[in-house]
Amino acid sequence: MRLSAYNFVKLIHRVPTLKKVAGILRGTLWIDHVRAHEILFKEKNIKSMIEFGMGDGTESFLKQLDKVASVEIFTKDVALAEKLKVADDSWAIKCKERFKGSKNWELIMYEMKQPVIDAELDVTGVGGLVKRGGNPRAGAYKIELSALLDQLGLDKYNYAFVDAGIHLRGDIVNLLFQRVPIIGAHDWDDKAIYGYTRINKPANYDEEEGVGSHAGIHFWIKQGMETQ
């Protein structure tokens, strides 16, 4: 089988450098989705991104891109955060301290309102009316999330990554279609709890699995996006 120049370059991108392998073995570099993102950013010439959920991955994105915005969806109600296993504002405080020196980083804080709280109570099973991993009973949370996305100026970003602390990730992916050309979602193998089963892929997006993620990473790429 002959290897085209494009496939050869793609293959080279997929082979981690010795430095990376050493880092992984030391346990210092291992963030589940980083390798898949390094490949994606090179192949698609990505310069700016918005992420839903932030953490160790953010540090890697900040090193590679001109602009990274992190959206933190949280509740001030610490007891509710604990019950739902979502974030209160303490995670954002830690991240602010950690990334304060990064000029290319912007933090967008969003305090969830009742429709999203109700949907979270349903999908996590905590509300007692829906089994964990089921669908929200009402659709109002989609209106709340759509209004949030309307405020983000999404046309500034080449890429959106959904790895949020809340569980309504599939719904965020649905709302990102036609607003951002490339979308990624982490923990793809846990379809039910993150609502990935609710995703409706539009015909003008292709999809592919990212490499090297144990939890699963999935990408949707708008047709016509050039590969480097």
Ligand X SMILES: C[S@@+](CC[C@H](N)C(=O)[O-])C[C@H]1O[C@@H](n2cnc3c(N)ncnc32)[C@H](O)[C@@H]1O
Binding site for ligand X (CB under 6 A): 31, 51, 53-57, 72, 87, 91, 163, 165
CB of 176 to ligand X, least distance (A): 15
Cβ-based nearer residue to ligand X, 56 or 150: 56
Cβ-based nearer residue to ligand X, 110 or 177: 110
CB of 125 to ligand X, least distance (A): 19
Cβ-based nearer residue to ligand X, 53 or 181: 53
Asked whether 207 and 192 are in contact (CB, 8 A), the reply is: no
CB of 100 to ligand X, least distance (A): 16
Cβ-based nearer residue to ligand X, 74 or 220: 74
Paired tokens of 142: 């989609």
Amino acid at 174: N
**Strand duo 159-162 + 48-52: pairing:** parallel
Nearest one of 158, 208, 194, 164 to 57, comparing CA atoms:
164
Annotate 97-132 with three-state secondary structure: HHHCCCCCEEEEEEECCHHHHHHHHHHCCCCCCCCC
Q: What distance in Å separates the CA atoms of residue 54 and residue 161, rounded to the nearest whole number?
A: 10
Q: Which residue is nearest to ligand X (CB)?
A: 165
Asked whether 67 and 47 are in contact (CB, 8 A), the reply is: yes
CB of 196 to ligand X, least distance (A): 14
CB of 198 to ligand X, least distance (A): 19
Cβ-based nearer residue to ligand X, 87 or 182: 87
Query: Is 49 exposed, middle or buried (CB count within 10 Å of its CB: 0-12, 13-18, 19+)?
Result: buried
